[in-house]
Structure 1
């Protein structure tokens, strides 16, 4: 018998044998759970990235009015040409047969065109292959390369080119 303070312990030589199988299984499960969590966090929120853009009014001769002009921060400029994913609501504002669609962080009632969203809350999507028709407010996920647009007022500031539909 071993005594520590007021506690008495029986000593059995077989009770101190380690059981590596249980410890190994615990470690494997822990590593797998951690890896799955890390994978879920690996995709940055594109809308949060777009929201870092500052907009200021600038007079456009073609429109003969002031429009919001983007000032892209270095963090967004570094993403240009790189692959991103965007989850957004389909908005039926692109001209028929234009080859692109517009998606929004918010549904139609809250979007940039109809509600309180800003220009950082919409993106133009140019698909690599033609896509089926979407319904207003369909929540879709697309993946493609980011293109930034500061000067062509016929297009959105954030454009996803060579896009593919990931989820509908």
Structure 2
């Protein structure tokens, strides 16, 4: 009986220890921001992240689905968007809270623009006003 109980505890702990948190665009959309004109004429964005994002998701391994947007294929730069390319932040049809920067742990190869994927990685919140608000480090295709 003790062996069975011990085995169940090990299984439950292992599942909890390796489970990723599901991140949804609605939560990221709770991020507000202010814009300030920079010295070079570009707008600087100052994000204000919701407390739940900072306390429960930052630095955690998360899973999120979205549309893959290749930024620079040779440099391996990609973004994940809530919306397809024609409606995304880069086309001026959405806000900066609808896109995140991806840093793949290994070269993911080539993808078609707007391929809808589930991505796993560690969430970093970018507070410095340059770059995208959300960064997914050690990203990889999930599922």
- Give TM class, smaller chain: 0.7 to 0.9
Aligned residues: 123
Pick the aligned partner of 1:125 from 102, 108, 122: 102
Structure 2 gap ranges (5+)? 1-19
Structure possessing the higher radius of gyration over alpha carbons? 1
Deviating beyond 4 angstroms after TM superposition, the runs of 4 or more aligned structure 1 residues are none
Structure 1 gap ranges (5+)? 1-41
Q: How far does residue 152 in structure 1 lie from its aligned partner after superposition?
A: 5.2
TM-score (norm 2): 0.76
TM-score (norm 1): 0.66
Pick the aligned partner of 2:91 from 108, 114, 119: 114
RMSD: 1.9
After superposition, residues 1-168 of structure 1 pair within 5 angstroms as 44-61=22-39, 63-78=40-55, 79-92=57-70, 94-151=71-128, 153=130, 155-167=131-143
Alignment check: 8 A CA contact 1:46 1:84 kept: no
Taking CA–CA contacts closer than 8 Å with sequence separation of 6 or more, which of the two structures ends up with the larger relative contact order? 2
* C-alpha spacing 1:133/1:96, structure 2 compared with 1 (3 Å): closer
